[in-house]
Structure 1
Amino acid sequence: MLKCRLSIILGEKKINVAELSRETGVNKNTLHRLYNETATRVELDAIAKICTYLDIEVGELFVLEKR
């Protein structure tokens, strides 16, 4: 199962979803779905913007957990 660590990363960096949306241009609904781990599809461009702004690698944002 693929897990999104956006909520953990934003908490560590003390950034909220509204600020991330404002700074990256990524839709708030998309960010909320990632934050709550309910997203099933996300544009690669959005992932790139999030990772660039947060200065992280894709592997830090998404983790593959074995069942």
Structure 2
Amino acid sequence: MLIEIRLQQLLKEKRMSQRELERRTKIFQPTISKMCSNNLQHMPLDALAKICEALECEISDVLRLKKNEEEEAK
């Protein structure tokens, strides 16, 4: 199983830019960009909490478990 970060989709749904999220959360834009591209190795829990608060969503809206390709082939 893999963890998928759905931040880009949430930002589109909320019609919010990465810059606006940076302003509201004080999380640096390069970090937000990595989250949006699902290219982040670890996500601090305080950052996740700030994102959920800014987007008025739950953790399960931001993170999803996804089967990797090897598991789907079985």
TM-score (norm 1): 0.94
Which contiguous aligned blocks of 4+ residues in structure 1 show a shift greater than 4 angstroms?
Answer: none
Higher radius of gyration, 1 or 2: 2
Question: Cα RMSD between the aligned structures?
Answer: 0.8
For 2:49 and 2:42, the matched residues in 1 are separated by: 14
Q: Which residue of the partner structure matches residue 66 of structure 1? A: 67
Residue 52 (structure 2) pairs with residue 51 (structure 1) = yes
**Which deviations, in whole Å up to 9, do the C-alpha atoms of 1:3-60 show, x marking residues without a partner?**
0110101001110100000111111111101001100111111110000110111011
Query: Tell me, which stretches of 5 or more residues in structure 2 are unaligned?
Result: 69-74
TM-score (norm 2): 0.86
Query: Tell me, which stretches of 5 or more residues in structure 1 are unaligned?
Result: none
